[in-house]
Structure 1
Amino acid sequence: MAAVGVAPLLPGMLPAAAHAAASSDGPGFPLVQDGTAAAVFVDAADDPAVIRAAGDLQADVERVSGVRPLLLHALPERAAGLVLVGTLGSSPVIDRLVAQGRLDVSRVRGRWEASVTQVVDRPAPGVDRALVIAGSDRRGTVYGVYDTSERIGVSPWYWWADVPVEHEDTVTVPAGPFKRYEPSVRYRGVFINDEQNMTTWSHRTQEPDKNIGPETYKRVFELLLRLKANYLWPAMHPYSDFFNKYRENPELADRYGIVVGSSHPEALLRNGVHEWDPWAQEHPNADGSLPVYDYTVNPGVISDYWRARARENAAYESSWTLGMRGLHDTALETKYATTIPEKVVVMNNIIADQRRILTEEVGAAVEPQIFIPYKEVLDLYNAGVQVPDDVTLIWPDDNHGNMRQLPTEGERARSGGNGIYYHLSYWGRPRSYLWLDTTQLAKVWQELRRVHEHGVDRMWIFNVGDLKSIENGLSFCMDMAWDVDRRGADKIEDFMAEWAGRQFGHRHRREIAAIRTEYYRLAAERRPEFIDRDVFSVIHHGDEGGRRMAAYDRLVERAQAVGAQLPETYRDAFYELVEYPVHGAYLMNLKYYWADRNALAARQGRGAGTNRFADLALAAHTDEQALTARYNTEVAGGKWDGFINPYPSQIPKAPGRPSVTRVTRQETSGLDVAAEGNETGADRPLSFSSYTRDRRFLDVFNSGFLPVTWAAEANRPWVRLSSAGGTISEQVRLWVEIDWDRVPEGTYDATVTVSGADRRVEVPLRVVNDGERARRRARGFVEAGGYVSIDARHADRKVARGGCRWRTVRGLGRRGGAMEAVPSMAAPITEHFATGAPELSYRVRFTSTGTFPVTVFRLPSLDERGHRRLALALDDHPVTVLSGQAVATGNRGDAWARNVEEGIEKLTATVTVDTPGEHVVRLFMVDPAIAVDQLVIDTGGLPATYLAPPESYHPVFNPDPATATGLDAPDQ
């Protein structure tokens, strides 16, 4: 079989027309045929990065075919086929083909990291045919090489995620020409950060490395290049070795073609955590004391410290971070500057000093130089720090995926341009998320799309933590960084399908993409790293926590079903990329769900059932530990020993084993009941509506340890019970439903009676049946159960106005899609909403009247220079403007912390319903780029829960709510 033409599915390989072009003119080029491989030629005078990448192509062809091609530095006298690899201006044979007009380099020559791959007949004397891979510069050539590797079936993740390479006896690629045009973002890379797990793994497995050394970085560099990245901030923390400890590291990076920079607290490539104390000891003060890392106290010593590294690394392609923060990612220390204006002066002096050092040691026009206004430095920048025009401003997010600030028109015009520092992983307040890839790709798309529209295209750096577990998210970010226009708001799941297809084959790609989409949605409700006690209700809305666990349970089953159908060679990769994240997130949530049920059972006075929930919580924790142990000790033969750990010791507030309560066994029994919506008893009636066709639960439980016999019956023939009784030693969940075909129209009270152990408990029911005809004729969302709950994307009408509109971003938010106001750079609209602002309108049928609170669930995006506002109205009533949180504080317990933990911000207003019947809830854009997830109207008695209640009945969008909400919570 032949591996031909998978290029259309490779992100970054066939982007939009502005970035690439390809055709398949002429027969394909055989890299391997009849047991013989075409040799790979690269001129010995070409850049070392190109020569090294040509060696990787040699190895990749062997991975696919088992046949290793020759790697040549001189043209053969005779060859039927040859792969010619080279950089324009550095490869005479390729330059000759260009001069002869036989290799089309239009829109490639002179561009940044561009390339062309094309078959050329008789490219040199004695060579019949050649596959030419030519780059505009050294990385352009390298990317062209890796494009070819990926086209023949070698995933960028072949080593880092153990993605197998399918064997092919005949390996053929299309004739081309294929062009990779310039990327959307010039510098694209990662920050390896909070790297405790990678350090442990590197120490155990990557000889002769100790704590992340050259052998590990070789693997990192290769992965970055295969992902079409070019930039790295290396590991920085005390438990890893700092990058420049090994002097071969910067040389290796340059030989691979990787630009190495340093993070916000590491000025001029200096790692303060490791390097300052030894430097201070070597350069003591006159009195013998050690200098402190404070520029207002020791400017000379600190300047010499920076200069030494600039001199050491002057020969390498590097990125130079300007400015200053404290050691080990702490705030700037300024003993003799206490006010903001004084600190601004100090920062300006620091930058001027660093610029002088770079000019003297590296060169007058060295680039890129970057300034990162991270945390407290952003306040200083906004207060007047003067950053030279040719320095790139790197705008940080709030550490949770929400951009804090974007450039003004003047900042966009700077010659140094703008970049971002964006977190896919984070250690710090209010909670850390280092374990799994849990940021929705749709959220990443929304934020990256917005920053690029604001002219931020010079550098994108992504904090990826330990690197592993971020495979999907990192691939997506690099895909966007190369071609930000390639995918629209409704095509994000397509990326996951393409990506899954390249890792596991096309048969299961759509199902794997759907699994990942649901996995991200559940994480958007609450990251598994953020789970805690008493987050999700276990008594309201059909057991909110239980419904969530049921969704996770279905997801695990789907993932395991796909894994069971894959060939054995794919099992390790599937475990790493799909099964472990899904199953691990499930178990992390499950143990806290059972712990919450245990705490409730203890409050209710349950006997054996209390202990049963304690056992289930601890069993889930044990299962999660075993799942992780399998990753570290069994997958890929134990290759990832020590890499995966949900609880590295440095993580603050990491969820671990939840505490549980146990009760001492007593030889007693007793019967009690807790109805849905009630911690104990049944004071809150169970409500049923013919629109939502709910089912509700009763927990029938034993207050002792000896078995007890119980029975249940309803006083209406149309009330259906999941059980009529039996014997319980712990508890049973009894489901109550209504037979809507038998119940007459009208409002009725009913009773379910549970009896046993000389006890009788009556549970009241309220049943409202408006009839099937009314159900069919309803034109919008229908109030029931004391609320109206609406998914924002389910608007009955969307109106674009003033050049702005609401668009659906699929896969964004808690409900599978959210509405975003675009374009992101539009001017705010603060008046004349009905004629000037884009609108979402929702028909609602109210059965109640009064003034009701409305909660709008929006994604907690930020803009510290502006606002996050929208407007709400009922019918033609006056409009209320709602304002969102504008500032990231970094403080635990405040509004920003709550918003990023929950993944939403709740904006509230009221509407007044004067008459029952149909009305229209209207939502208007005020500020652009705001995204809305859900709306909830409380018409009386809506309980406070973490999630919004299940979506209300709508004849088009939600005609069968009982099915749509999946009310199959665990019955334990």
Structure 2
Amino acid sequence: MSKINLIFSLLILVSIQSFAFQQANLDRKDVDFVYYDVNGTSLDSISAHLLAEDIFKITGEKPEVLTSDKAISENSILIGSINSEFIQEQLSEEIPASFQQLKESYYQGWSKDQTHFIIAGTDARGTAFGVFDFSKLNGVSPWYWWADVPVEQKTKLDFPAESYFSKEPSVEFRGIFLNDEDWGLQPWAENTFESETGDIGPKTYAKIFELLLRLKANTIWPAMHPSTKAFFHYPGNPKMAEKYHIVLGSSHAEPMLRNNVDEWTKEFGRFDYKSNRETVQNYWDERVAESKDIDAIFTVGMRGIHDSGMEGVKSTEEAANLLKTVIADQRSMLEKHRGKSASEIPQAFTVYKEVLNLYDHGMQLPEDITLVWTDDNYGYIRRLGNEQERARSGGAGVYYHASYWGRPHDYLWLSTTNPALIWEEMHKAYQMNAKKIWILNVGDIKPAEYNMQFFMDMAYDMEKFDAPEKIEKHRNQFYKDIFGNDLGNEVSAIRKEYYQLAWERKPEFMGWSQTEPTTEVKSTDYSPFDFGDEIQHRLNAYQSLAHKTDSIFKKLPADLKDSYFQLVHYPIKGAALMNEKQLNRDLAEKYAKQGRLSAKKYQRKSVNAYDSVQQLTDQYNQVISEGKWNGMMSMKPRNLPVFHKPEFKDSIQHIEKTASFFIEGGSKNQLPNFYKGTNETYFIDVFLSQTETVKWSLDDVPEYVMVSTKNGELNADFGQFQQRIYFKIDWDKFGNSTRNEDSLILKIGDDFHEIQLKINEYQLSEATIVEKNYLAVVYAEHFKNKSDSENGFWQKIGGLGYSGAVMQAKPLDQLPLDTLNFKEDHPKLTYEINTETITDSAELIINAVPTHPLTNQHKVRIAVQWDDEPVEVLNFETFGRSAVWKVNVLSNKAQVKLPLKLSNIGKHTLKVFMIDQGVALDFIYLKTKDISLPYTLIKETSLQN
């Protein structure tokens, strides 16, 4: 076919990755051959063969894969280095020298005669990224194998209409840490996928490495738990890393590519550099020699055998000094075996746990070593670099968790870390120049697929994630790419709700238990008796979410069901069932203490939810994808108490009366106050305490009071143990009445109970925040005024926090503001609150996302002024693994409190001043009486005339 005909055959202009492509509408197969450079790398060959497989998935026709020493035919894709003779002689245009110097970048364009499509990288990984981006453009998901995402077949391939030059990745080393693999990846590999090895071996790593390259990632920290042999135990593992050009690293606890858990034996003695230096040196030297040709980042420093503190030292000062010696010796080893200066060899010093204390003690670290900052295991980065640290030649990076084993509680089962938190923390890290190394602890990979994709996409191109709004855009596109535009938007919406519900409490944390040491399950902090029944609200939310995922699952085409089950259905249903198990157990225990016979009903519901989790997990392992993932999913990693079958310790308390009632809020004879102009609904529960039949009714109900039902019957024989009555005010019928007290009669059997009603009214000139029933609720984003200055500003981050939008102190690259002058110099948020209580014992409770100080020059402070009272400085900072920190990370909120005196009824002003950058305000409570606070954030209490 002539050059002119080929050009005119390129049709249908669309957009992809900021460049246009058009479909090659040819009278033949699009691609007959894939050629790769015979003098190229092993990854060129791998990429070429995988591309041929991808084209087969797309078109049903598989091109032949040949090397460049064969005659080049038309209708071909050519793969190789942009600097190779093979590619250079085919190019139709001059390649800028500046592009050729970029790392991991690629060119896509047509050959001189327009019969060959060229994919050429500035290095081997760049070429692979170009190949896999071409596949993705044509509908092959990076998750085609790891999540069984089907490929939509078509007759023609899509090609770029114009030459395309990719950019250099934003973060140089981007990858994952395979961790806590004992309950998924390792048993699955051993028994299902790689039984010939009986472990995570080269066959498994080949699939992992392919996934990384399709995600445009490049680094692996291999699995290293006792259940798994060390990466180097199987010679095929490092060879596979070399073939795929994956950068090999090791975790914070594994210096010099060693796996201490598996490789340091008792015969070696103590892993103590002070008393056993020569043995430790030989141990490291052997690995450095063995890996001298491997592309690697060497973890330097030293900790204990497995994620523990350094052995043999008695003080922080001694440990810091010893570490200095350790690192100097390690660098000498690297220079000896790699034949270059240590400053040219990638090295990482991960300031994890106690190592941060050693570093902050004043330990001297060579400038060229990359400082890897860490989160606190729960998604909150412990600190980032100050101005001096940000200028280090070795740069900085982040080790971040999307899965974790440890105290106060594991979260190894379902992946629920909110992408908005990942964005906030990693965007913060990038702005603070921590962009050399990004490693994500993904546990077993599944079911962390989306968070892994999100993290890697950010690492590859942070420009696409420059604003919080890009979080939702990315999530929508991810699911639309897999499930189509209409269903994709539905799926994205329920996934957003899934992350938001887990923000309050992860499924793994619903037992209100802890580990290390392990404690038993106890009652949750959700109240069934207050705030509209928090337990039922949460159950309703999860049941609605489960219903939505069931509905989507039913209408999916058959070829999408397995993928949907893995990516969406199992996590959502699993989270819903865990909440049903724990919250119904909670209801059973709390109702038993009140003598309610209905406690037995909730015991059954709790046990049924447990059984359903088992059935759902069996479906994951044995049914979907014809058993491909058998052994991958465990419903009880580490067998912690929260995963156990529920037990019920409290028997139903004996009550003399046959039936009784309970009023929301716990009053004996009064519903919570109603407020004119609002839509509060309150409830009364009528319940049986003995196996009888009892009738109940409401009498003398004021005409303006709406009730869900005015009479009913409780019948133990039919399982009708209790009934809930809802009360609401019809304000049209209430009219302009000034009557603020009333009553009604609740009759249960032969007993009569007078129930009091009270209606309050605010005289307000405009919409504002009000105290109702001794509580005012303020969302941080609902300020009356926002005052920015040259010193900073408050930025809204949507999708984060209990309220769904936090206000964060910016910019991040500044020093804290002073704590002496709180006038125009300090950016501030102003709120107006109306109160109805005079008291000397009010309390302001300010809730923030539990972030840590931005640098070692920051804290987590704000300043608060109530009316004209003195300004108070408050600090959200926590230390180490304190009890407060544990509560914070389990609930995803930090609190500071300020006692107040309310000497007048009416309008008050609250001002919040910025001090430390990075503080992220979520919501505020004003409590005017000693009442329990809701666990779930209730709707903001505002009124309008």
Residues 876-897 of structure 1 show CA distances to partners (whole Å, capped at 9, x for unaligned) of 443222111243x235xx1111
Choose the corresponding residue for 2:481, options 488, 495, 502: 502
Tell me which of 602, 607, 610 is aligned to 1:618. Answer: 607
Establish whether residue 557 from structure 1 lines up as the match of residue 551 from structure 2: no
User: Aligned to 2:524, what secondary structure does the other structure show?
Assistant: coil
Residue of structure 1 aligned with 2:570, choices 576, 580, 596: 580
The SS at the match of 1:742 is: helix
Q: Does 1:528 align with 2:507?
A: yes
Corresponding residue number in structure 2 for 1:842:
831
For residues 954 and 724 of structure 1, the distance between their equivalents in structure 2, rounded to whole angstroms, comes to: 29
Relative to 1, partners in 2 of residues 1:786 and 1:796: Cα closer, same or farther, differing over 3 Å?
same
Maintained 8 Å contact 1:118/1:178: yes
Number of positions where the alignment pairs a residue of Structure 1 with one of Structure 2 = 911
**1:176 positional shift:** 2.6
Give the deviation of 1:119 after TM superposition: 2.4
Partner of 2:309: 331
Q: Which amino acid aligns with 2:615?
A: A
Whether contact under 8 Å (1:402, 1:860) holds in the other structure is: yes
Contact 2:594 2:653 in 1 (8 A): no
- Give the match for residue 592 of structure 1: 582
Query: Aligned residue for 1:108?
Result: 99
CA distance in 2 between counterparts of 1:628 and 1:169 reads 38
Residue 357 in structure 1 maps to residue 333 in structure 2 = yes
Q: Deviations over 1:221-250 (max 9, x none)?
A: 011110010000000001122211101111
Aligned match of 1:118: 109
Q: Does 1:832 align with 2:852?
A: no
Give the alignment partner of residue 389 of structure 2, picking from 411, 435, 438: 411
> Partner residue of 2:916?
927
Residue 50 of structure 1 deviates from its aligned partner by 1.8
Equivalent in the alignment of 1:237: 225
- Tell me the residue number matched to 2:145: 159
SS at the partner of 2:285? helix
User: What is the aligned partner in structure 2 of residue 284 from structure 1?
Assistant: none
Shift of 1:769: 4.5
Aligned to 1:883: 875
Q: Does 1:129 align with 2:115?
A: yes
1:714 CA displacement? 4.5
The letter for the 2-side match of 1:768 is: N
**Are residues 442 and 49 of structure 1, via their aligned partners in 2, closer, same or farther at CA, if it must alter by over 3 Å?**
same
Change (3 A) 1:635 1:7: farther
Q: How many Å apart are 1:164 and its aligned residue? A: 0.8
Pick from 77, 81, 85 the counterpart of residue 83 of structure 1: 77
CA contact (8 A) 2:671 2:682 kept: no
Post-superposition offset of 1:557 = 2.2
The aligned amino acid for 2:469 is D
* 8 Å Cα contact 1:5/1:173 also seen in 2: no
What SS does structure 1 have at the residue aligned with 2:335?
helix
Retained in 2: the 8 A contact 1:2–1:168? Answer: no
- State the alpha-carbon separation in 2 of the partners of residues 248 and 171 from structure 1: 35
Which residue in 1 is equivalent to 2:561? 571
Once the two structures are superposed, what CA deviation does each residue of 1:448-470 show, in whole Å capped at 9, x if it has no partner? 11111111111001111111011
TM-score (norm 2): 0.92
Task: Say if 2:884 is the partner of 1:895.
Answer: yes
> Would you say 1:480 and 2:458 are equivalent positions?
yes
- Distance, in Å, in 1 between the alignment partners of 2:839 and 2:187 is 61
Does the C-alpha gap of structure 1 residues 349 and 3 become closer, same or farther in structure 2, counting only changes over 3 Å?
Answer: farther
CA gap 1:4/1:509 in 2 versus in 1, 3 angstroms? farther
Change in 2 beyond 3 A, CA 1:652/1:663: closer
Q: Distance in 2 between the 1:511 and 1:702 partners?
A: 42
1:853 equivalent to 2:843? Answer yes
SS of the residue aligned with 2:898?
A: strand
Residue 468 of structure 1 corresponds to: 446
CA distance in 2, matches of 1:4, 1:459: 40
Structure 2 CA distance, aligned partners of 1:120 and 1:324?
Answer: 52
- Distance across 2 between alignment mates of 1:116 and 1:411: 35
Match of 2:862 in 1: 870
1:738 paired with 2:729, answer yes
Alignment equivalent of 1:176, drawn from 162, 186, 206: 162
Whether the 8 Å contact between 1:242 and 1:274 is mirrored in structure 2 is yes
Change over 3 Å in CA distance of 1:5–1:766 after alignment to 2: farther
Output the amino acid matched with 1:349: T
Structure 1 residue 913: deviation in Å?
4.3
Matched, 1:340 2:316: yes
Tell me, yes or no, if the aligned pair for 1:885 and 1:895 is still in contact at 8 Å. Answer: no
Whether 1:186 aligns to 2:175 is no
Correspondence list, 1:602-681, <5 A: 602-607=592-597, 609-649=598-638, 652=640, 654-661=642-649, 663=651, 670-678=658-666
Q: Deviations over 1:260-298 (max 9, x none)?
A: 111111111111111111xx53xxxxxxxx511111111
| Cα pair 2:863 2:913 within 8 Å, conserved | yes
Seen in structure 2, the aligned counterparts of structure 1 residues 752 and 210 have a Cα distance that, compared at 3 Å, is farther
Q: Secondary structure at the match of 1:871?
A: strand
The 10-residue stretch of structure 1 (760-769 or 896-905) with the greater mean CA deviation from structure 2? 760-769
Looking at structure 2, the residues matched to 573 and 211 of structure 1 have their Cα atoms a distance apart, in angstroms, of 25
> 8 Å contact 2:614–2:635 — kept in the other structure?
no
SS of residue in 1 equivalent to 2:752: strand
Q: Deviations over 1:141-176 (max 9, x none)?
A: 110111001000000011111111111122222223
Aligned mates of 2:116, 2:543 — CA distance in 1: 53
Q: Deviations over 1:630-654 (max 9, x none)?
A: 11111111211121113123x6554
Q: Which residue of 1 aligns with 2:191?
A: 204
Q: What is the CA–CA distance in structure 1 between the aligned matches of 2:275 and 2:807, rounded to whole Å? A: 52
1:914 Cα shift?
Answer: 4.2
Q: Which runs of no fewer than 5 residues in structure 1 stay unpaired?
A: 15-21, 123-127, 282-289, 960-972
Unaligned runs of 5+ in 2: 1-8, 512-522
Percent identity, please: 33
More displaced stretch, 661-670 vs 78-87: 661-670
* Structure 1 residue identity aligned to 2:146: W
The structural deviation recorded for 1:314 is: 0.9
**SS class of match (1:580):** helix
The 10-residue stretch of structure 1 (237-246 or 554-563) with the greater mean CA deviation from structure 2:
554-563
Per-residue deviation at 1:954? 5.0
In the TM superposition, residue 571 of structure 1 has moved relative to its aligned partner by 1.0
| CA distance in 2: counterparts of 1:437 and 1:350, whole angstroms | 37
Distance 2:622 2:365 in 1: 50
Taking structure 1 as reference, are residues 373 and 519 closer, same or farther at Cα in structure 2, changes over 3 Å only? same
Q: Is the 8 A contact 1:107 1:181 kept in 2?
A: no
Amino acid in structure 1 at the alignment position of 2:826: A
Say if 1:75 and 1:83 are closer, same or farther in 2 by CA, change over 3 A: farther
What SS does the corresponding residue of 1:360 show, helix, strand or coil?
helix
In the alignment, is residue 94 of structure 1 matched against residue 87 of structure 2? yes
Deviation at 1:847, TM superposition (A): 3.0
Alpha-carbon contact 2:171-2:437 (below 8 Å) kept: yes
Mapping of residues 810-821 of structure 1, within 5 Å: 810-821=798-809
Q: Which segment is superposed worse, 226-235 or 515-524? A: 515-524
Secondary structure in structure 1 of the residue aligned to 2:311: coil
Where does 1:69-80 land on structure 2 (aligned, <5 Å)?
69-74=63-68, 77=71, 79-80=73-74
In the aligned structure 2, how far is the partner of 1:351 from the partner of 1:328?
Answer: 19
Residues 687-710 of structure 1, C-alpha deviations (whole Å, 9 max, x = no match) = 211243211111111001233222
On the 8 A contact 1:828/1:926 being kept in 2, the answer is yes
Distance verdict in 2 for CA 1:923–1:5, change over 3 Å: farther
Q: Is the 8 A contact 2:828 2:913 kept in 1?
A: yes
Once residues 805 and 638 of structure 1 are traced to their aligned partners in structure 2, the CA distance between those partners, rounded to angstroms, is 53
* 1:441 alignment partner, one of 401, 415, 419: 419
Deviation sequence 1:779-829 (CA, Å, 0-9, x none): 322222222112111223222112411111111011221111111122222
CA distance in 2, matches of 1:433, 1:5: 46
